[in-house]
Structure 1
């Protein structure tokens, strides 16, 4: 009985650790959008350069994600994730330095820390909780989205009352990251099992299903990062205050969080997720079309985009585990989806900003998002079912 109790306590501690890690995987990014006009004004940044604040982390994801399975196999997934949390903490702290170098340098470190967490969490869930993938994926996506929503909503108010203004609004999240480091410390004593979980598997480049999962991840991520970077600016240019625009971004994410809670139940009703993923992607398309045709209805489109976006995020994360044959394949598929998917997503904020500059308006950039959502709807028909099989390699290979 003592052994069973100890095992359950260890699993509960692991779940709490994973959820607190998840809480740190978006908040330091989503707080940027509502403050973007202040950042541009204080530092004299062009729109495309300002867009780099949410593109640099994505580029870091692209570079580091394929390396994470090999690094985790060498050091242990828990050890690597602990180191990533320390890097994330340093990055957020560096953003508190009142200079452009601190802002952009800290953003790169934040991207490095988040990249590791993005890849490892689906693999750890598949390894330790294989019968609860949908539930735990929804739980960590909900926590991640909920904290990210709060970060968006409080960014402008904090910048208005706190010493340091927007520097403090971005840097204060270091306290959350420190909490994650402390809560993850108990997991650092068990590296070996994680290493075996993802050792010796190539990324599944030859699998069409893996490419569909990657495309779904990339397209929904592109939409998310464009929204958190530019949606407040779109609303402000339609006559809203910065604070109101920030709270509408909070509303988008709050609705997304509520929607994500319903996804596990919806997933249990069907044999696969093709229909669910297609419908949710079509809802995103509806939101972009509405924003294009009637931008004055900002409240409505924030809600519609949140309805589709929350479900698509959970599905994209769940696909990594659900489509994988086992935990080791989940690690490889996660690395592929995070790297190539975020390469696609990284173009979003910059291209969106460039189109706005070239066209002197928001209609062309929003039409780009309509095209992306239409593509995601098509890809969902493939990504929602099937299994990515093992692609093992010789363990003696470098």
Structure 2
């Protein structure tokens, strides 16, 4: 499908959209202590607050696929941006209930972008889709690193409500550019397709989402995304707390450590398109990432004082691993009619695993009074990532 808008304009729109799809999650962990103090957020509520968006990435994924099929992925992403704005405002207007409800709305909005940007990439960029996915995942990391670094200073200056709510401005900025680059042309083309179908009496059919559940390859792609998500979100949620408790870092310094973790992923996400072209298979990339995660987890347990090294290396691992997991959705799809359902299925399963990660880590840390057992569990997740990435990286497609 050709586009009247330039590739550069579409790339810029994708970058702006991506800035909204992780930042509001990364803004929360550095403020958890303050939220518990000021509005009486319980420990369980704090765990739910960081887990809920990722859980919604899973639960809302099938709905995002259906919305994309109904109105077009470009128009659906505009709906997602509107929900991001609404959720950003709603979660700072009251106490714990408003915080959780606003976070729920945010999670649904983010899910729509998560699921449907790969569809736009496959449809509009074809063989260059991995490059667009690389820019997309790099921008996710930029958004997360910006909020991780700036939320605490903004909150100290203006209060936690401004510190969390201000990030909705990014969605307001993204929506007009997305409309110009993608959504308006998509609507025109869909109208033309409907008129053509009405003229010749043809009916366009698309594969049902449920047909993918019998494909082994679809399952391993989903598990590959899930293991990477569990590692990423567990680290994002708990590394500030771990560094404050085990190393004695100040809250602001721990927030900067989280920002470094996010920033270090950026150049490695951009390297993934180049790496995927080196060989016809991509399993070797995922297996390398899994081994690096294991080394990071062991390093934090044995030598926590070297946390700057482990944070930097973990950032490289998460950037590469997450970009590869999203790219595999595109590479394993024969065309965009498969990409949407595969993206929805992968994110339903993958983010269910990802949502469980930080929750299980928090529960185990509380139950055992330390971080040894959670660390062992995450090493097991990294081993599962090794196996699933190897299979998902084979040179095959779902048709």
Q: Same fold (TM over 0.5)?
A: yes
Distance 1:352 1:194, change over 3 A: farther
1:87 paired with 2:83, answer yes
Contact 1:25-1:117 at 8 Å conserved across structures? yes
1:194 CA drift (Å): 7.1
2:128 corresponds in structure 1 to 132
1:154 paired with 2:150, answer yes
1:265 corresponds in structure 2 to 274
1:251 CA drift (Å): 0.8
1:169 corresponds in structure 2 to 163
1:223 paired with 2:231, answer yes
2:13 corresponds in structure 1 to 17
CA–CA distance in 2 between the matches of 1:334 and 1:348? Answer: 20
| Equivalent position SS for 2:209 | coil
> Which of 276, 290, 306 pairs up with 2:299?
290
1:267 CA drift (Å): 1.8
Contact 1:93-1:106 at 8 Å conserved across structures? yes
CA–CA distance in 2 between the matches of 1:95 and 1:140? Answer: 26
2:220 corresponds in structure 1 to 212
1:389 CA drift (Å): 2.2
1:120 corresponds in structure 2 to 116
Deviation sequence 1:250-289 (CA, Å, 0-9, x none):
1111111122122222222111101111101211111111
CA–CA distance in 2 between the matches of 1:200 and 1:69? Answer: 12
1:323 paired with 2:323, answer no
2:206 corresponds in structure 1 to 199
CA–CA distance in 2 between the matches of 1:53 and 1:193? Answer: 40
CA–CA distance in 1 between the matches of 2:205 and 2:366? Answer: 44
Relative to the length of structure 2, the TM-score reads 0.91
1:111 paired with 2:107, answer yes
Contact 1:68-1:119 at 8 Å conserved across structures? yes
Q: Which runs of 4+ in 1 moved over 6 A?
A: 194-198
> Which of 54, 57, 61 pairs up with 2:50?
54
CA–CA distance in 2 between the matches of 1:273 and 1:8? Answer: 33
| Equivalent position SS for 1:205 | helix
Unaligned ranges ≥5, structure 1? 391-398
1:338 corresponds in structure 2 to 347
Contact 2:122-2:335 at 8 Å conserved across structures? yes
Compare 204-213 and 294-303 and name the one that shifted more: 294-303
CA–CA distance in 1 between the matches of 2:172 and 2:319? Answer: 27
1:10 CA drift (Å): 4.1
1:337 CA drift (Å): 0.6
Distance 1:262 1:12, change over 3 A: closer
1:33 corresponds in structure 2 to 29
1:180 paired with 2:188, answer no
1:193 CA drift (Å): 5.1
1:393 corresponds in structure 2 to none
Contact 2:74-2:120 at 8 Å conserved across structures? no
| Equivalent position SS for 2:213 | coil
| Equivalent position SS for 1:377 | helix
Distance 1:57 1:355, change over 3 A: same
1:254 paired with 2:250, answer no
CA–CA distance in 2 between the matches of 1:180 and 1:198? Answer: 32
1:46 CA drift (Å): 3.5
Deviation sequence 1:116-173 (CA, Å, 0-9, x none):
11110111100100111221111111111112111101121111112xx222111110
Relative to the length of structure 1, the TM-score reads 0.92
Deviation sequence 1:317-343 (CA, Å, 0-9, x none):
100000111111111110001111111
Distance 1:386 1:67, change over 3 A: farther
> Which of 287, 292, 305 pairs up with 2:314?
305
> Which of 281, 306, 319 pairs up with 2:290?
281
Compare 351-360 and 95-104 and name the one that shifted more: 95-104
| Equivalent position SS for 1:84 | helix
Deviation sequence 1:333-381 (CA, Å, 0-9, x none):
1000111111111111211111111011122112211111111111111
